[in-house]
Structure 1
Amino acid sequence: MTIKLSQCFIAVDDHDKALAFYRDALGLEVRNDVGFEGMRWVTMGSPEQPDVEIVLEPPLADPGASPADRQVMAELLAKGLLRGVIFATDDVDATFERIRATGAEVLQEPVDQPYGVRDCAFRDPSGNMLRFNQPRKR
C-alpha cells in the first residue's frame, strides 16, 4: 500500500495577491483556478513535483458560515495562525534573496538550526508563515 501527499491547503484572503506571490515570487505554476458559489480555489505546484499541489482557498470555505464565524477566521488568518508550510530548496540563501527582493515580509533570515537544516521564513500576503529549508552542510 502506498500513501503519498497529494494536496495541502492554504487559506488566503485575496486570491489575486496570493496568486502573484506564489507564482511570481516562489515560481509555482498555476494548475487550476475555479470559482464556485462566490468563492475561489487556485491550485498551484512546483514544476519539479507534478503530483503535489497547494490549493489556495478562502479562509472559511463554507457558503453557509455565519458572519461571526467568518470574522473569527479572518482574525486568525491575519495573525498567521491558520497554516504554515515548509518548502525544501537546494539553496536557502539564494531563495531568501529572491523572495526578499519581491518585498515579501521577512520573518527570519537564513540561519543554521540545531535540528540539521538551514532555513528562513516569510509571510505570504495573507499572513501565513512559509519556511524554506535545506539540509545543513556538514
Structure 2
Amino acid sequence: MTIKRMDNVGIVVDDLDETIDFFLELGLELEGRAMIEGEWAGRVTALGDQRVEIAMMRTPDGHSRVELSRFLTPPVVADHRNAPVNALGYLRVMFAVDDVDNTLERLSKRGAQLAGEVVQYKDAYRLCYIRGPGGLLIGLAQELS
C-alpha cells in the first residue's frame, strides 16, 4: 500500500477569520494557525515567493482536516466560487451532521444559504448543499436511523 491516509483538503479563502468562525460554528476545531512563507514553500507550490496565512481545522473525531489558506502574495488569479456544481475541478466538502435543520439554522446566522433544497434520499439520508463564506460550497448529510 502506498497511501496511509488522506491528510487534509485545502481551500483558498479571501477572509480567513470569517471562514474559521463559520467552520467553528459547524463543529470543527481550530488546530492551529501559521504563516507559510519562504523559498521552500514556493518550490512546493511552484508559485515562487509566497506568503500564505493558513488555519488547520479538525473534525471532532480527529480523522479529517480542512486547511484554509489566505494568499497574501502572490495574489489569487482565479475564482470559481460561482461556477455550477458540475464545473470541472470544482470542490465541495461534505460533512456528516447530527441534524441538518439545526445546522442550517446555526450556519444561516453566519451567512450560509441553501444552494438548492434539503432532500431526502430513500430512508438513508437528508442532504443539502450550502454556500458558506465567500461562496464556498459545502455539503451536509444527516444519516437517518
TM-score normalised by L of structure 1: 0.74
In the other structure, the counterpart of 1:113 is 121
In the other structure, the counterpart of 1:4 is 5
Q: Aligned partner of 1:33: which letter?
A: R
TM-score normalised by L of structure 2: 0.71
Q: How does 1:75-90 map to 2 (within 5 A)?
A: 75-77=79-81, 79=83, 82-90=90-98
Query: Post-superposition shift, 1:119?
Result: 0.9
User: What secondary structure sits across from 1:126 in the alignment?
Assistant: helix
Give 5+ residue unaligned stretches, structure 1.
Answer: none
In the other structure, the counterpart of 1:42 is 55
Between the aligned partners of 1:108 and 1:114, the Cα distance in structure 2 is 18
Query: Does the 8 Å contact 1:11/1:77 carry over to 2?
Result: no
Query: Post-superposition shift, 1:53?
Result: 1.1
Mean alpha-carbon deviation: is it higher for 119-128 or for 94-103? Answer: 94-103
Paired residues in the alignment total 127
Q: How does 1:8-47 map to 2 (within 5 A)?
A: 8-23=9-24, 25-37=25-37, 38-47=51-60
User: What secondary structure sits across from 1:93 in the alignment?
Assistant: helix
Between the aligned partners of 2:72 and 2:109, the Cα distance in structure 1 is 36
Instruction: Calculate percent identity across the aligned residue pairs.
Output: 28
Give 5+ residue unaligned stretches, structure 2.
Answer: 38-50
Quickly say closer, same or farther: Cα 1:39–1:98, change in 2 above 3 A.
same
Q: Tell me the C-alpha RMSD between the 2 structures.
A: 2.8
Quickly say closer, same or farther: Cα 1:99–1:79, change in 2 above 3 A.
same
Query: Post-superposition shift, 1:112?
Result: 0.7
Query: Does the 8 Å contact 2:98/2:142 carry over to 1?
Result: yes
